[in-house]
């Protein structure tokens, strides 16, 4: 039980308090002193007003100018000063709290980004628990509401509240008894537990539904966002998505609502009853003291004020409670996210972080007995795969959907680590190389490349963000990818944002976007990459554009080790070497002619496309007289094997 309490209540507070130094020592010290003052001023006010009341009989009797009258006036001025100081300092507390919030949240944002990028692989980004933690960590920060920074300011604000409680307890101890003082603290804290404890349990209930909340948010974003706008309308999906969103929202709210009564009402009634009983006992003891003459009028006034003001401290603190609860939860989620990233990172093999020779690979890249299961999956996507990619040559990889071709790319770029075997570059395990340096050596056009909402030039230059951008290099890459003319025709040329969501922005066709992705990879080659991986690079290009690209492919990739993954045999056949992947292994390999002669899997796939191609009246012949599937008919069939 103590452990549960520590985990739920103490650990998140400590984690949040550890963020305080990011706000700066001076600011934190200043706000702490201010909160201390805001804690002491109400106590001073209670003392001064009690002294005023206590002196009233003597002042009335002595009249204006009497020592009692002067004392009364002095204490009244003190009370007024304490009150005014409190009024003046409260807004300063808020202003400094906002500064603390801003600084801490800035540091937390940096930390979130750094933690996300610390993962060299993409495994954590595909893990549900890690994504839940990330969603929980970022939610408050993104909304700028009840953030970790608010929690830090809220924790400091508690200083004022608890100093006040301690002050009132001491006053009661002095005028009544120390037992009464202790009981007053207990009564206040019992009230407080009824209020604040409920909030903790309630927010924890929210944490339990983060998965379904992510789904609800996804459904809402898809329904409202631009990405699915076309299909939403054409397929008439708005109602469908609306219903699913409502279902997910109901599913999210149900467990939280069901616990509301148990969390808030019953404990509230119980703790309020206990608190009231103890409070009543304290007041009775004070009244008895007054009745017996042990407590003076000043003492009675002091005691009464202290008891009432202290019991009011059992209430909810608007400047602190919600912010600390949700902000702390965000911090706890961030720590969980970081722990998961670290745990995944521990599995990454970084034996040497060795240097990567600028001209590597000089001999070959090799997959040696490589096996791979995706995290959490028992199925071996790759199983003892041996493959050689000779340096400076082009290798095509073919295979049915799901054969593991893209997975090979993920392993080659170290987005995942093999679960068996090694991948070597000129004999060195790539796991022993510095991962960033290795990645700079490899340029990739992913099947699902990203359409960045950046300018056209930036979209190309992100291919080698580690080198200073030069216009010439960007234009050269765009020219080689045959997209330069189209980009120059945009309203702001290559400086046009490639999104209609921005002023002066333009959108491109699917094929034009694919050329941008190709240009990005060619830009990386200019910056020094020596391995080019193209995963379905021309699936959206028209016949002529695809043929033109591959006509220049040899020239563009001279001296580069290239890997082409494609279902289009018209492209594949141009490679120096072709590899067929099936069931996680290399099933066949050789040149186009050798594989046709072998009459195996490749030959069957090739003929399948060729048959369709035969149906096309304007089918092209290649120089060898072979049909060239993929130049027309496989586009009709989607080009898929
Ligand atoms: N992130 C992932 N987590 C779990 N399994 C995955 C993941 N990505 C892919 N897989 C599975 O791994 C297998 C191989 O996928 P991969 O993307 O490598 O196939 P592919 O040969 O490139 O297919 P395609 O020709 O359709 O692009 C598939 O069965 C797929 O379901």
More confident residue, 626 or 215: 215
Model confidence pLDDT, tens digit, residues 1-16: 788 778 877 888 899 9
pLDDT at 629 over 60: no
Is the pTM for the entire model greater than 0.80?
Answer: no
Cα(367) to centroid of ligand 1, in Å?
18
Atom of ligand 1 nearest to the CA of 400: 25
Work out the percent of the chain whose per-residue pLDDT is above 70.
94
Question: CB within 6 Å of ligand 1 — which residues?
Answer: 126, 374, 377, 381, 399, 401-407, 447
Cα distances (Å, whole numbers) of residue 60 to 50, 63, 302, 392, 614 = 16, 5, 20, 106, 117
Q: pLDDT band for position 618 (50/70/90)? A: very low
Q: Which atom of ligand 1 is nearest to the CA of 126?
A: 1
When pLDDT is cut at 50, 70 and 90, the band that residue 640 belongs to is very low
Pick the CATH number of 349-447+536-641 from 3.40.50.11890, 3.60.15.10, 3.40.50.300, 3.40.50.1100: 3.40.50.300
- Return the half-sphere exposure (C-beta side, CA atoms, 13 A cut-off) of residue 381: 23
**How far apart, in whole angstroms, are the C-alpha atoms of residue 370 and residue 108?**
39
pLDDT given at position 484: 93
Contact, 632 vs 616, CB < 8 A?
yes
How confident is the prediction for the chain on average, in pLDDT?
A: 86
| Residue of higher predicted confidence among 271 and 578 | 578
Residue nearest to atom 18 of ligand 1 (CA): 404
- Cα-flanking dihedrals φ and ψ of residue 533, to 5°? -115, 125
Minimum mean pLDDT range among 52-56, 158-162, 197-201, 427-431: 197-201
Same CATH topology for 16-345 and 349-447+536-641: the answer is no
What's the gap in Å between 381 CA and the centre of ligand 1? Answer: 8
Q: Is 563 exposed, middle or buried (0-12, 13-18, 19+ CB in 10 A)?
A: buried
CA of 405 relative to ligand 1 center, distance in Å: 8
Which residues have C-beta within 8 Å of that of residue 633, sequence separation ≥ 6?
609, 612, 613, 614, 615, 616, 619
Atom of ligand 1 nearest to the CA of 403: 21
Q: Is the pLDDT of residue 563 over 90?
A: yes
Which CATH fold would you assign to the domain 16-345?
ABC transporter transmembrane region fold (1.20.1560)
Cα(337) to ligand 1 centroid in Å equals: 25
What are 432-465's pLDDT values in tens digits? 888 888 899 999 999 889 999 999 999 999 999 8
Task: Give nearest CA residue, ligand 1 atom 29.
Answer: 402
Question: Checking phi first, is residue 144 left (phi over 0); if not, alpha (psi -120 to 50) or beta?
Answer: left
State the pLDDT at residue 630: 42
Query: Which candidate, 576, 550, 524, places its Cα nearest to that of 397?
Result: 576
Distance from C-alpha of 49 to C-alpha of 76, rounded to nearest angstrom: 7
Distance 406 CA to ligand 1 centre (A): 7
How far away, in angstroms, is 447 Cα from ligand 1 center? 12
- 339 CB neighbour count, 10 Å cutoff: 13
Atom of ligand 1 nearest to the CA of 567: 25
Ligand 1 pocket, mutate which of 371, 385, 406 (most atoms under 8 A from CB): 406
Q: Which residues contact 38 (CB under 8 A, 6 or more apart)?
A: 86, 89, 90, 93, 160
CATH number of 451-519: 3.40.50.300
Could you tell me which residues come within 8 angstroms of residue 331 by beta carbon, excluding any fewer than 6 positions away?
12, 15, 16, 19, 108, 137, 148, 151
Ligand 1 pocket mutation pick from 367, 403, 417 by most atoms within 8 angstroms of CB: 403
Q: By alpha-carbon position, which residue is closest to atom 31 of ligand 1?
A: 402
Identify the H or E element spanning 138. Answer: helix 128-143
Q: Are β-strands 585-590 and 577-582 bridged in parallel, bridged antiparallel, or unpaired? A: antiparallel
* pLDDT surpasses 80 at 267: no
Q: Catalogue the E-assigned strands of 414-536.
A: 420-425, 428-429, 442-445, 531-535
Separation between Cα atoms, residue 156 and residue 353, nearest integer Å: 44
- Across 468-496, average pLDDT: 92
pLDDT-derived band of residue 626, with 50, 70 and 90 as boundaries? very low
Q: What is the pLDDT of residue 200?
A: 79
Q: What is the pLDDT of residue 52?
A: 92
Going from the Cα of 581 to the center of ligand 1, the distance in angstroms, rounded, reads 13
Indicate the domain borders of the chain. 16-345, 349-447+536-641, 451-519
Using CA atoms, how far apart are residues 70 and 624, in angstroms rounded to an integer?
117
Q: How far is the CA of 235 from the centre of ligand 1 (A)?
A: 27
């Amino acid at each position: 039980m103590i452990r549960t309490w520590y985990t739920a209540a103490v650990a998140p507070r400590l984690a949040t308090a550890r963020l305080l130094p990011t706000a700066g020592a001076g600011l934190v010290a200043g706000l702490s002193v201010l909160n201390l003052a805001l804690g002491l001023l109400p106590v001073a006010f209670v003392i001064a007003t009690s002294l005023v009341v206590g002196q009233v009989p003597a002042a009335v009797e002595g009249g204006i100018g009497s020592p009692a009258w002067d004392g009364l006036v002095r204490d009244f001025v003190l009370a007024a000063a304490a009150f005014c100081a409190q009024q003046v300092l409260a807004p300063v507390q808020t202003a400094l709290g906002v500064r603390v919030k801003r600084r801490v949240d800035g540091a937390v944002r940096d930390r979130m980004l750094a933690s996300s990028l610390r993962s060299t692989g993409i495994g954590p980004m595909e893990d549900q628990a890690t994504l839940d933690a990330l969603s929980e960590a970022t939610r408050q920060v993104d909304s700028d509401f009840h953030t970790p920074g608010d929690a830090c300011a809220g924790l400091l604000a508690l200083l004022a509240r608890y100093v006040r409680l301690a002050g009132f307890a001491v006053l009661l101890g002095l005028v009544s008894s120390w037992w009464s003082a202790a009981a007053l603290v207990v009564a206040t804290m019992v009230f407080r537990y009824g209020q604040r404890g409920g909030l903790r349990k309630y927010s924890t209930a929210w944490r339990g539904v983060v998965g379904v909340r992510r789904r609800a948010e996804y459904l809402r974003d898809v329904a409202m966002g631009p990405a699915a706008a076309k299909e939403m309308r054409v397929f008439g999906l708005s109602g469908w998505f609306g219903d699913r969103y409502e279902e997910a929202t109901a599913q999210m709210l149900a467990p939280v609502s069901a616990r509301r009564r148990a969390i808030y009402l019953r404990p509230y009634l119980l703790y309020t009853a206990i608190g009231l009983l103890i409070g009543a006992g304290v007041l009775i003891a004070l009244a008895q003291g007054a009745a017996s003459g042990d407590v003076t009028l000043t003492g009675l006034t002091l005691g009464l004020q202290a008891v009432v003001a202290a019991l009011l401290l059992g209430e909810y603190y608007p400047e602190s409670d919600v912010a600390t609860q949700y902000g702390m939860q965000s911090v706890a989620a961030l720590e969980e996210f970081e722990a998961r990233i670290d745990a995944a990172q521990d599995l990454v093999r970084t034996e040497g972080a060795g240097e990567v020779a600028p001209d590597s690979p000089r001999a070959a890249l090799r997959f040696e007995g490589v096996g791979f299961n995706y995290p959490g999956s028992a199925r071996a996507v790759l199983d003892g795969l041996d493959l050689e990619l000779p340096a400076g040559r082009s290798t095509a990889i073919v295979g049915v959907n799901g054969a593991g071709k893209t997975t090979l790319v993920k392993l080659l770029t170290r987005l995942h680590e093999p679960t068996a075997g090694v991948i070597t570059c000129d004999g060195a395990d790539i796991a022993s190389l510095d991962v960033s340096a290795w990645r700079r050596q490899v340029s990739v056009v992913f099947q699902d490349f990203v359409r960045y909402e950046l300018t056209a030039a930036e979209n190309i230059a992100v291919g080698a963000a580690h080198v200073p951008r030069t216009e010439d290099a960007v234009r050269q890459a765009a020219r080689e990818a045959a997209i330069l003319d189209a980009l120059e025709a945009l309203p702001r040329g290559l400086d046009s944002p490639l999104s209609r969501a921005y002023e002066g922005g333009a959108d491109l066709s699917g094929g034009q976007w694919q050329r941008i992705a190709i240009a990005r990879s060619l830009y990386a080659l200019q910056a020094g990459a020596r391995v080019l991986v193209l995963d379905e690079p021309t699936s959206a290009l028209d016949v002529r554009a695809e043929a033109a690209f591959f006509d220049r492919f040899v020239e563009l990739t001279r001296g580069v080790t290239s890997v082409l993954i494609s279902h289009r045999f018209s492209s594949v056949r141009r490679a120096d070497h072709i590899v067929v992947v099936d069931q996680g292994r290399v099933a066949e390999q050789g040149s186009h002619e050798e594989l046709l002669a072998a009459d195996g899997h490749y030959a069957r796939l090739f003929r399948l496309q060729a048959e369709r191609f035969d149906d096309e009246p304007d089918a092209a012949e290649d120089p060898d007289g072979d049909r060239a599937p993929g130049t027309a008919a496989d586009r009709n069939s989607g080009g898929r094997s």
